[in-house]
Structure 1
């Protein structure tokens, strides 16, 4: 399904990233002043986002604002392209991430070190966002775009500039990556812990912030809504601890980091395949990227000495 409405005036679009379903979901909130999109995804998937919005009766011209949970390219890479085409868009983002939207040079240099020549294929063009379009957040705000009330919380752990949004009308928390990866209905929640910002202490505190909101559901960008909120958050908290300990023990193993990360990835993917039926595995095999998570957790331990 390309568009799913899970509460009145609230739904999501599958951007069909790289032509694959259930990898990146963009939240859609309908307001009196137009649509708000949560995490529009990368520029390379804008055609999929547009096509599936149009199938639901929406158009980019209906969009009034973009709510970014954080600025990683799979969540926010299309932001500058959208604002260039529609200059009236307001872009909501944590103040730490704002400067990298306005001048993405450092963000892109960091991404190129990871993705190299695959940058264009994976993410497409990343354009700067005019400063006048950016609304800087710190956490603690109550926003009312188009008369729809959104509460903002600072939720680091995955990224130092991560925020989450509680939509009061639907009781939905749009939690980006701080609530992990879980395709709606699956019996797994997978941590997403890439370098450089992973902090287990901050992450567990952020999960407590989400719990205190007592939401009716969580929405994660990878992929979709989940209504068993307590189970979801408790499972993720346990997995974060278990993964971190597993990575810590591998730091003393023979071989180099690439070999350690490869073994960790194989172990994680084998566990997922043992838990999920064949038809549900593909999003995790493509997008969970546990090798990258190994590097993020290894960096966390090494910074602690």
Structure 2
């Protein structure tokens, strides 16, 4: 009886503070898909991601309420290696800092968490020229490993809600696909698309082993256009991407949790610079153009990402007979 009462109070508290776990966490899907640069090539990437959520929605309606603010700062380290021109693997490791500020009636409630987040491991296979010349189809399958803590507590000893934890406490399965096509009428331009599906697992030790929690499955699709031009001996790559994201409702004790789940459409201008053959700088700004959430939730106001990547080729050894 005490367990049922505790979970009931917890769900009511979630409704009161308007959950944001569907769009406020570490941007794992956004940062998958390192390119296969050829057999023996390593890719190292380091990105900073800033996600600001200060827009309160009820369904598709924006509410005149700025009393809630969520900010997520993430550091993402990616590592990729190509065994052949077709087979490659990549790993994504994360560190996350999350803050939540609720201001009501002159009082401010501030919560902050920091720690190592979950990681993603992905195996990929590239199929060139499947839809004609200058076309590449990539298929990937992998998992999200629960490396981050999912049982952090407040100073008073109360466990924080799932959306504020650095980790999810569950293993997820990930399916990924991308396709790109170089345009014949403009050889420097590329049209590309990607699709990611994350089948989430269940955290069986939620709330000090008194409950279970399962984030909603996530579908994400991107469609983008990228061009290139040479200036000051540097290759610049402007582009624009439209992103669709759909998250199912979260579940606690196998019951749907209110104020979770929804769908979003974003536009993402991007800009990259290849300053040397092996060093690439990139930036992108993501802005919402449509959102529909279940119940009342904070939704993203803006997201900014900046990063650098390095290409390391395996040294060739020549043997003279």
**TM above 0.5, one fold?**
no
**Could you say which TM-score interval applies, normalised by the shorter chain?**
under 0.3
User: Whose relative contact order is higher, 1 or 2, with alpha carbons under 8 Å and at least 6 apart?
Assistant: 2
Larger Rg: 1 or 2?
Answer: 2
Give the helix-richer structure, 1 or 2.
1
- The TM-score with structure 1 as length reference comes to 0.25
- The TM-score with structure 2 as length reference comes to 0.24
